[in-house]
Structure 1
């Protein structure tokens, strides 16, 4: 079993709350505040980005004429390009992936970036959570939804919310239906 803690160890543990641990990494705090991401999502994105970087590093160490390297690198590059995490189809770009590349592809952030919504990120997150945004025919209620290159053109407001926006802007069409 585990030994009993000594006096000074118990005293130190009383001062540290492991259940509600506050991060002291300034970059982590800045990213979480900027993109509206909670700690669990940040750590998931960080782990995935680290695995992608490690995989790209290992693939780049193989010989350039190796058939396995070429096949795996093409699959990796194509997948990351289709998701929208890299802009050019180069293995070198896979090494630059970080948490912010994932956060920029989230639905509320992409709505602001594309000009669909002009307001603070917190309000865009609320609109997504309340079900006012759809991608294609599907209503999305998860603000962590990653927008791929195929989905970019199909992000719209739901019909009921679009009518509310048009009524507010005096652009409501009475002869629509």
Structure 2
């Protein structure tokens, strides 16, 4: 025997379509998209599907697939350049792992993402010679080796003092 649904329960059920429900809807991915304000991550999958749908005799199919896979690999979103099926593995989490704040945590320069975002916004982090103040900056594979503290950063001075490599005559 089923009880009658309350008003707010009926209202919630109106928003859910159980007839056309697909099992590949990832609720966790939706939360990540909202949290990190990432727009249209499925666009990569859609482009890969369009390339896959091209006829095999089309001369541009191989060229376009190589370009897409090379771009995704250079950005660090896929681990290797095999086939267009790799584009299916690109998720919101892939983008979040390539953000500058996440890279700082991964490199053990900060203990958590909140602290990393704070240091970035305060101007303590640079990539190469360029000062970055946006924690949402996407770091490519080539840039990930160039992430460091700025020369004037007090954090850098503390790290150098801790490692006994700081020059005592510097200010």
Q: TM-score range by the shorter chain?
A: 0.7 to 0.9
Whether 2:32 is the aligned partner of 1:31: answer yes
| TM-score (normalised: structure 1) | 0.71
Whether 2:152 is the aligned partner of 1:151: answer no
Task: Report the counterpart of residue 52 of structure 1 in structure 2.
Answer: 44
Deviations 1:48-107 (A, max 9, x none): x21110110121122334212111111111111111111111211112211111111000
Structure 1 outlier segments of 4+, above 6 Å: none
- CA pair 76-164 structure 1, distance change in 2 beyond 3 A: same
Task: Report the counterpart of residue 82 of structure 1 in structure 2.
Answer: 74
Shift of residue 32 of structure 1? 6.4
Shift of residue 141 of structure 1? 0.2
Whether 2:101 is the aligned partner of 1:100: answer no
Whether 2:130 is the aligned partner of 1:129: answer no
Please list, as runs of the form range in 1=range in 2, the aligned pairs for 1:107-122 lying within 5 A after superposition. Answer: 107-115=100-108, 117-122=109-114
Number of equivalences: 143
Residues 53 and 95 in structure 1, CA contact (< 8 A), matched pair in contact too: yes
- Runs (5+) with no aligned partner, structure 2: 1-10, 12-25
CA–CA separation in structure 1 for the residues paired with 2:107 and 2:163: 23
Task: Report the counterpart of residue 65 of structure 2 in structure 1.
Answer: 73
Whether 2:157 is the aligned partner of 1:163: answer yes
CA–CA separation in structure 1 for the residues paired with 2:120 and 2:60: 42
**SS at 2:158 equivalent:** helix
**SS at 1:159 equivalent:** coil
Residues 83 and 148 in structure 1, CA contact (< 8 A), matched pair in contact too: yes
- CA pair 55-67 structure 1, distance change in 2 beyond 3 A: same
**SS at 2:94 equivalent:** helix
